[in-house]
Structure 1
Amino acid sequence: MTTTSDQSVSPTSTSAAVTAGAHATEIARKGLSNQRGGSATVDQQRAATVIGAALEGIRAAIRDHKVTYEEFDAFKQWLIAVSDTGEWPLFLDVYLEFEVEKVAAATQQGSVGTILGPFWLDGQAQLDSPATLPMRDDEPGTPMILAGQVTATDGTPLAGAKVDIWHTDSDGWYSGFAAKPPAGNLRGVVRCDDQGRFEIHTRKPAPYTIPLDGPTGQMTQAAGWSPWRPAHIHLLVTAPGHRTLTSQLFFTGDPYLGNDVASADKPELTLDPQPTGNASPGFEGEVRSDRDFVLEPE
């Protein structure tokens, strides 16, 4: 990803697209159906119907817009570049996942969710609430507290529910997908208390662009679309016997709200952090947001 301070290329010798793409592809190969609580099994008739409809959509675009052989060849080269950089997870999550999420949300109850995106990592630090996410001793950014309670749809507190949380640092970098942050930075799985309550201390993340040096970013720029994602926090909220909630939380006043390249932001997911008044060294300007989560039965 490209940060707010560098909108052209990664400062490392390896392109941001290749670095992030390789990691995202490795994670995607493992499969995330268990994280979302779903299954990837599809019967032959359904496969024929969905694949046929997708191909006909592409054919219709070729017919309607009179695509030339030069444009068709350029498209093939773009597909090869996406494969070479490992950017398929990025492209699919940015430009298609939000539609899949809309379909899923139509039959779901509980808290509003959104897309997972390509930057989740398994095996992160297991923490008990109240928890401070792993971070550098001099981690930059505004100190922030995210707190709330996880309950079932009938209001029952879900003791021991888990909040898997990850986000960028104040420069827009995800640990595990860029060289700058150390492994596990600003990532953790927080276990709620016996009342389903959690309190997570972290740093406020920054907006960022998708990698601009790879084919997904180049396509986005060629179309004149904004490559920016608003600042956000990713969450997977889980409890035994309940559907996993996949969500993101955004911030009021972010200039990229309403123009998210991944179409993942929703008004219901916007936080309005308020100052805590904590004047302790290193916590100047600290803010807090409270957000509860409701999980439906499986």
Structure 2
Amino acid sequence: MEATPHAAAEAALTEQVVARFADTPDPRLRALMQGLVRHLHAYVRECEPTEAEWFAAIQFLTDTGKMCDGLVRQEFILLSDTLGVSMLVDAINHRQSTGATETTVFGPFYIAGMPDRSAGENMALTPGTPALVHGRVFSADGTPLRGAVLDIWQTAENGMYSGQDTAQPTGNLRGRYRTDDEGDYAIRTIVPVSYPIPTDGPVGQMLTSTRRHPWRPAHLHFMIDASGHRRLVTHLFNQGDPYLDSDAVFGVKPSLQVAYEERPADHPLARRFGFDGPFREARYDFVLDPVPKAGD
């Protein structure tokens, strides 16, 4: 079927815009910009937004930028997360894993420079169900990784992160732990709770308008670094959480679920880590991918 004059003119416009990027010196930037133009123009041709709808889309993005404060609130990451784009980028960038622990979204609430903590130190400065999360960190060949740094963060029982919630003490439920000579780590904390992502901005309006819920299943964030290995960004999700199958940001993977088992006050781990009553224990071993050597 022959293209109409209008369709031909619209296609010609797309190619004209693509051609304007032909002299971009960086070939990767050139490919990214030309691909963006082609796909964005294809979306417009498929959906045919009215001028008012397109202006509303621009206003939505403008409002999203205004909600980013550069410290804790990053509405664009939240938008990427809720559209599943963050998880798609994550999947594409970890296709070559050699059996390492699975990755998931970074999230918008990480804060750098949180306290260095000793093994088993309590990072919970607010109430909750006491918990011990511990295990080992290995290389893909089974070698324990000494001195691996585990940067951890989670919400308080009110479902908010320190920094996001200014009433919480600085560094609450955040910290940097290190593995010992055997690759062991131990984190004293509280059992994570499920929580809604912020809904007071454009992303919340989008979820409401599309009848989507804003809830994330309970989880603990990890960013793990070890010399000679790829950084691992992942979560540990509470087994049995009601939102595991409908995570608002599509981040759940079955391999990342852990059970928080009840332990009595006289349990050996209670004495070792200073619990003065019953607590929950979760155990998980992480595996990191080595950085490929030159020529691999």
- The within-5 A match list for 1:55-66 is 55-66=37-48
Distance 1:167 1:43, change over 3 A: farther
Letter in 2 for 1:103: I
Tell me what 1:111 maps to. 101
Report whether the alignment pairs 1:102 with 2:95: no
What residue ranges of structure 1 are gaps of 5+ in the alignment? 1-41
Helix, strand or coil: the match of 1:200? strand
Helix, strand or coil: the match of 1:127? coil
Helix, strand or coil: the match of 1:76? helix
- The within-5 A match list for 1:117-196 is 117-133=107-123, 135-136=124-125, 139-196=126-183
Report whether the alignment pairs 1:274 with 2:283: no
Distance 1:118 1:228, change over 3 A: same
In the TM superposition, structure 1's runs of 4+ consecutive aligned residues that sit over 3 Å from their partners are: 279-285
Aligned-partner Cα distance in 2 for 1:97–1:297? 23
Tell me what 2:213 maps to. 226
Report whether the alignment pairs 1:212 with 2:199: yes
Aligned-partner Cα distance in 2 for 1:285–1:71? 56
Report whether the alignment pairs 1:88 with 2:76: yes
Tell me what 1:290 maps to. 283
How far did 1:43 drift? 7.1
How far did 1:55 drift? 3.4
Higher relative contact order (CA 8 A, sep 6+): 1
Letter in 2 for 1:160: G
How far did 1:49 drift? 2.3
Aligned-partner Cα distance in 2 for 1:61–1:67? 9
TM (norm. structure 1) is 0.79
TM (norm. structure 2) is 0.80
Which of the residues 72, 79, 94 maps onto 2:54? 72
Alignment RMSD:
2.0
Aligned-partner Cα distance in 2 for 1:49–1:220? 32
Contact 1:175 1:182 in 2 (8 A): yes
Contact 1:132 1:202 in 2 (8 A): yes
Aligned-residue sequence identity (percent) comes to: 35
Contact 1:165 1:189 in 2 (8 A): yes
- The within-5 A match list for 1:6-45 is 44-45=26-27
Letter in 1 for 2:234: S
Contact 1:173 1:181 in 2 (8 A): no
Letter in 1 for 2:189: T
- Structure whose alpha-carbon radius of gyration is higher: 2
Instruction: Return 87-96 or 195-204, whichever deviates more.
Output: 87-96
